[in-house]
Structures are given as C-alpha cells and as structure tokens.
C-alpha cells in the first residue's frame, strides 16, 4: 500500500479503475431521494471493488482532477462515518485509513490549478484564516467476493 503524502501528485480520476476521489462523502436529500442516492453510492462502491478484484481505494478531500484541496476535520469525520455506513451495505469493509493534514493552504498542495470555484460550503466564506485541512486515503475490500458482484 502506497503511503499518502502531502506532496504526491494524484492523476485525474479514471472511470476504469478501482480508485475514487471525493471532496466529501455526503448523502443528503429528501426521504425519496435518500434511497436513490444510497443505492447509487452502493453501486459505485461495488463497481470500484469489482474493478480492483475485490479491493478499492477512496480519497476524500480530493477533486476528480486529482487536486488535493482538503476539508476541515469535522467534515472528514462526517464523510468517514457516512462512507462506513454505506460501505457496510455494499458488503465491504475498511482495511486501512490514512489521514494527512495539508495545512490551511490549498495552492501549495498541487501544481495543478483548481478548475472549479472554491466550494464555499466546504471551505467557508472566510478565506483568511482557514482551518487546517485534511485529505484521507481509505483502502476497502469486499467482505465476500460473491456479494460484491
């Protein structure tokens, strides 16, 4: 398993492998939407595990283009709790979690430009000072390979 480092550069997300990037892992909506969103999240987890022969890697605090923007620890913990609950329903389990602090700056984290506007709900409206920001790598595996298909 590769060590998650602040300075490492992540390639853009691919639809063809077992790696998934999320800024935060959130399932919110009306009661009608929640079932659909959760079913979609379960399908995505199973697809990623199938693409990795029963294993997958999720990164939180990372955009689809591989840019590590990080999130405050409160959002990281909420994301991990939500992901754990959905992962259980997808017949998966967490093998390992790495969380790294990337400081309170975004620009030094990746040489890539951030392609989307700052996420005001995630980064907050006050850009100075910002709270410490974190990224996470979550290695997962299927509990039973027959159930993840």
Tens-digit pLDDT profile for residues 110-121: 333 433 333 444
- Domain segments of the chain: what residues? 19-115+122-142
Query: Is the CB of residue 13 less than 8 Å from the CB of residue 66?
Result: yes
Average pLDDT, the chain: 80
Phi, psi for 136 (deg, rounded to 5)? -140, 145
Q: Which of 5-14, 19-28, 103-112 has the highest mean pLDDT?
A: 19-28
């Amino acid at each position: 398993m590769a060590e998650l480092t602040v300075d490492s550069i992540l390639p853009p997300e691919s639809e063809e492998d077992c790696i998934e990037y999320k800024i935060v892992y959130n399932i919110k909506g009306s009661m009608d939407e929640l079932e659909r969103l959760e079913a979609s999240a379960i399908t995505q987890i199973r697809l990623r595990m199938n693409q990795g022969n029963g294993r997958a890697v999720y990164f939180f605090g990372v955009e689809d283009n591989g840019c590590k923007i990080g999130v405050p620890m409160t959002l990281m913990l909420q994301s991990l709790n939500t992901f754990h609950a959905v992962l259980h329903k997808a017949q998966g389990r967490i093998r390992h979690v790495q969380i790294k602090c990337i400081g309170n700056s975004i620009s030094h984290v990746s040489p890539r430009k951030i392609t989307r506007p700052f996420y005001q709900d995630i980064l907050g409206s006050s850009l100075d000072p910002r709270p410490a920001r974190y990224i996470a790598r979550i290695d997962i595996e299927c509990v039973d390979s027959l159930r993840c298909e």
